[in-house]
Structure 1
């Protein structure tokens, strides 16, 4: 796990990159890689690469980056882990390749030398990397199918830049800070900035599951090589018998956990009282890990209540013979850490506080790698959306086809005052008849017609035009998995999980130099269980996951009402915001306003954009 960056002055009229920019961008990401630092320049000094290293596999200096191929033709900077690299290495060695290290970085170099861009189809892992070809004078970028690892780019028509963080690109001093209305509107809709947008017009995310070439003619359009919807659609088109679900899930999840334990350092686990993290702990034991440290957060506000995770987490740790570490977080610590949290938050988010503190706790006890149960709800149908969205669509599909009916109904109910009691209910006819619209209702903090109450109307108009939220949600279901459960899985995975949960795991973990691994967010796992996902009934997926370890999770865990892995944020934000936090949704809105207000007052984000 690392921080990567580079500058390519592809236009001959552009001046060569400055070392001060390369170093400023690279060293802004110091926390991502405290174990090593490097840079590389092309012979003509028109391309430079930077790297900060968090050493996990092959801890020796021979694995430092940027790394050159043996003949010097290819140079790579890489952020992530390739979990099947031992098997790839065996295949390469059998065909005559000789390795100098035991790192997965070198495996990527040899794969690119052999297979070019097609190499991405052979990779299992989380990754974002750049490879420079000194012969073709071209730069190749790639990002993993789920988008676990970030990669941001900026192109001004003269030079192309990339880095693992938005703020790192800004730290270089050469990228415009002009605001992106689509990013601002997207944050207020969902509480996170939807990729490929950022808060800045000139900075884009390389989309998940995409590659991109940059040469003397400039950057080509990113090219998709896979998608979550595609894997789900393939599975739905070849469904497996429902009776296979339990065994298929047990085999596939154990395989994924075993792969994610690959490391030359200790691997711990975040443990809540839920099924996802508990199952991971049991599967870690089944995979042969004998000594396991499990970290659980505790809050005085939750003590003795239904949201207190500690008692059940302690029971699960005891069941699987793990060392249980309980870390208490107070309101005072939250207030003390808040400036650092907002500084580390690469883009504004209403979540991630829990991950910040559990990553902090894991690093305090010496861990550099921890597994997280993130992703379980998305593929095992654990959210209410898997029940609500199909029901809403069935109910409103026909009425929604009546031209203008939705808008007229919203106007009438608003006039009657219904919107004050239930703002989303008035939009049900307008949005509830399609999966993309219903998802916007289910996940939205604000709805498009609400935005003018918190943002400048002109900014809203431009932002919605550029963002096209309904069309963007629909695209995340392409190709169409067709089955209701698979459609919702695609929506949740490619939107909420990617833009918020995975991004939060990255910035919050990396702020503490901790690599967070997510075995339930794995393309091979998805490919294996996609044929049974469409057969899930309510609760079936999670119960199957609970039974995946050889010693299943107890009923006390599986029957516990879902509470999420949260913090008492509603009681911790400022009193002015807390006054409107009368519900979970209102608390999220309050925190969104708090995040925006505090981040927009710094030099890191556009100032004074909200009205």
Structure 2
């Protein structure tokens, strides 16, 4: 887990790259890699690469980056972990490859030399990397299938820049800071900025599961090699022939946990009161981990309420014999951490505080890597969206096809909804509820399109909606046309909410404390194998709960799902917040809208 950055003056008439700019970018990433830093420049000063290292695999200096191949042709900067690197190394050695390190970074160099761009389909892990070919003078970039590791770029027609964070690119001072209305609109619609957009017109995200080649003509269009929706679509044939038993999921989950424990440092775990993290801790025990350090975050405001996860999580920790730490977060600590929290936040998000405090605790315990249960709800159907969205579509599919009917009903019904103080999403059901894209926007939307005028000016809304195309963007995640309603919702949740919010927040919040967060349930091989199982609804959670040799207690499985909550509403109402920019007029429908306005001000 590291930070990477680079500048490539590909155009023949472009000036030599700026070493001070690359240095500023590298310094901005210091927390991503406190163990070492390095830079590499080609002799003509046309390309520079920077790396910040958090040493996890092969801790010796021989594994430092940027790393060059033995013949000097290829140079790489890499962020992430390749969990199958030992198997890949063995195969390459049989083909004659010689290694100088035990790092997964060197494996990537040999793979690229042998297989070129097609190497990415052989990788199991979370990754974002760039490889420069000094002979062909090309720069190759790649990002993992789920988009666990971020990678952003900017291309002005002369110079190509890339980095692990948006703010790192901005810190270099070489690109425009003009805002992108699509980023602002996307944030207020979804609670996070959906890729490939960012807050800045000049910066784009390399899409998850994509590669890109930059040559003397400039950056080519990203090439996609993996779609979550396509995996579910491809599994349709085997599903029609009959689903495999959910019991097979135990082997899939254990195999993933074993891979995610790879490395030369201790690996801990975030532990909630739910099935996902609890089962992973049990599987860590089965995979041979010693006494695992587990971490639970709690809040005094939630004591003796269903939202309090500390007591049931402690029960799970005792059940598996972990070294457990419960960290109680106070309003005072929240206020103290808030400036640094916003400084570390790479793109606006209404989430991230839970990961922030959990990663902070992990660092205090001396951990560099932890496992998280992120992705379990998306994979196993744990959200209400798996029930609600298909039901809305079935009910409203026909009336939604009548031209202007939905829009007219929404406009007529909105005043009644407001007068009765009902949730504004109810007014949008006739217009949006009849399609998966529209129903998903209703379900996950923070603000809805017709409400954006409450938080953004008219021009920003018009331009932002046009550039973003929210329904088109959502529909694009159904690539491969999965037919099963469960598969459709799983593809949407994994490709939007999980990718753009949960995984992104885990990256910047974890890296702010120099902690690598690993997600065994967010894994391309787990997805491909489990897509052929009957994991819908309760069956999926039961299969995961029963995956460890020491099965999770039934009380954990029966516990009502509450989601991970934070007492932000109480904190926002507290007078002691002082200079905290609390909205003068709180919104009617929950703390998330109030919090979103506070977050957005930090990026305005």
Alignment TM-score > 0.5, same fold: yes
For the residue of structure 2 that corresponds to 1:336, the secondary structure is helix
Tell me how far apart the structure 1 counterparts of residues 298 and 374 of structure 2 sit (CA, whole Å).
19
**Residues 38-57 of structure 1 correspond to what in structure 2 (within 5 A)?**
38-57=38-57
Tell me how far apart the structure 1 counterparts of residues 525 and 111 of structure 2 sit (CA, whole Å).
19
**Residues 95-106 of structure 1 correspond to what in structure 2 (within 5 A)?**
95-106=95-106
| Residue deviations 1:82-115 (CA, integer Å, cap 9, x gap) | 0000000000111111100000000000000000
Question: For residue 592 of structure 1, what is the aligned residue in structure 2?
Answer: 596
Question: For residue 578 of structure 2, what is the aligned residue in structure 1?
Answer: none
TM-score by length of 1: 0.96
The alpha-carbon deviation at position 328 of structure 1 amounts to 1.2
Question: For residue 490 of structure 1, what is the aligned residue in structure 2?
Answer: 491
Deviates more, 1:476-485 or 1:378-387: 476-485
For the residue of structure 1 that corresponds to 2:594, the secondary structure is helix
The alpha-carbon deviation at position 578 of structure 1 amounts to 9.3
For the residue of structure 1 that corresponds to 2:590, the secondary structure is helix
Tell me how far apart the structure 2 counterparts of residues 476 and 176 of structure 1 sit (CA, whole Å).
30
The alpha-carbon deviation at position 540 of structure 1 amounts to 1.6
| Residue deviations 1:506-548 (CA, integer Å, cap 9, x gap) | 000000000000000000000010012xx44432211111111
Gapped regions of structure 2 (runs ≥ 5): 575-581
Question: For residue 553 of structure 1, what is the aligned residue in structure 2?
Answer: 552
Question: For residue 381 of structure 1, what is the aligned residue in structure 2?
Answer: 381
Question: For residue 568 of structure 1, what is the aligned residue in structure 2?
Answer: 567
Tell me how far apart the structure 2 counterparts of residues 415 and 319 of structure 1 sit (CA, whole Å).
53
| Residue deviations 1:396-430 (CA, integer Å, cap 9, x gap) | 00000100000110111124455742311111010
For the residue of structure 1 that corresponds to 2:298, the secondary structure is strand
The answer on whether the counterparts of 1:181 and 1:460 sit within 8 Å (CA) in structure 2 is: yes
**Residues 203-602 of structure 1 correspond to what in structure 2 (within 5 A)?**
203-239=203-239, 244-418=244-418, 420-532=421-533, 535-573=534-572, 576-577=582-583, 580=586, 585-597=589-601, 599-600=602-603
| Alignment RMSD (CA, Å) | 1.3
Tell me how far apart the structure 2 counterparts of residues 260 and 536 of structure 1 sit (CA, whole Å).
22
For the residue of structure 2 that corresponds to 1:409, the secondary structure is helix
The answer on whether the counterparts of 2:246 and 2:535 sit within 8 Å (CA) in structure 1 is: no
The answer on whether the counterparts of 2:455 and 2:597 sit within 8 Å (CA) in structure 1 is: no
Question: For residue 18 of structure 1, what is the aligned residue in structure 2?
Answer: 18
Deviates more, 1:261-270 or 1:317-326: 317-326
The number of residue pairs the alignment matches comes to 596
Tell me how far apart the structure 1 counterparts of residues 90 and 504 of structure 2 sit (CA, whole Å).
33
Distance change >3 Å, CA 578–CA 305, structure 1 → 2: farther
For the residue of structure 2 that corresponds to 1:262, the secondary structure is coil
Gapped regions of structure 1 (runs ≥ 5): 601-606
For the residue of structure 1 that corresponds to 2:572, the secondary structure is coil
Tell me how far apart the structure 1 counterparts of residues 394 and 244 of structure 2 sit (CA, whole Å).
28
Tell me how far apart the structure 2 counterparts of residues 578 and 327 of structure 1 sit (CA, whole Å).
32
| Regions of 4+ moved over 4 Å | 240-243, 417-420, 574-579
Deviates more, 1:236-245 or 1:58-67: 236-245
Tell me how far apart the structure 2 counterparts of residues 55 and 317 of structure 1 sit (CA, whole Å).
28
The answer on whether the counterparts of 1:246 and 1:548 sit within 8 Å (CA) in structure 2 is: no
Question: For residue 604 of structure 1, what is the aligned residue in structure 2?
Answer: none
For the residue of structure 2 that corresponds to 1:531, the secondary structure is coil
**Residues 78-97 of structure 1 correspond to what in structure 2 (within 5 A)?**
78-97=78-97
| Residue deviations 1:532-581 (CA, integer Å, cap 9, x gap) | 2xx44432211111111111111111111111223211111255549736
For the residue of structure 2 that corresponds to 1:239, the secondary structure is helix
Tell me how far apart the structure 2 counterparts of residues 57 and 517 of structure 1 sit (CA, whole Å).
14
The alpha-carbon deviation at position 68 of structure 1 amounts to 0.2
TM-score by length of 2: 0.97
The answer on whether the counterparts of 2:349 and 2:596 sit within 8 Å (CA) in structure 1 is: yes
Deviates more, 1:422-431 or 1:390-399: 422-431
| Residue deviations 1:168-189 (CA, integer Å, cap 9, x gap) | 0000001100010101100010
Deviates more, 1:81-90 or 1:312-321: 312-321
Tell me how far apart the structure 1 counterparts of residues 436 and 94 of structure 2 sit (CA, whole Å).
49
Tell me how far apart the structure 2 counterparts of residues 433 and 180 of structure 1 sit (CA, whole Å).
30
The alpha-carbon deviation at position 242 of structure 1 amounts to 6.9
Tell me how far apart the structure 2 counterparts of residues 518 and 65 of structure 1 sit (CA, whole Å).
24
Tell me how far apart the structure 2 counterparts of residues 428 and 536 of structure 1 sit (CA, whole Å).
28
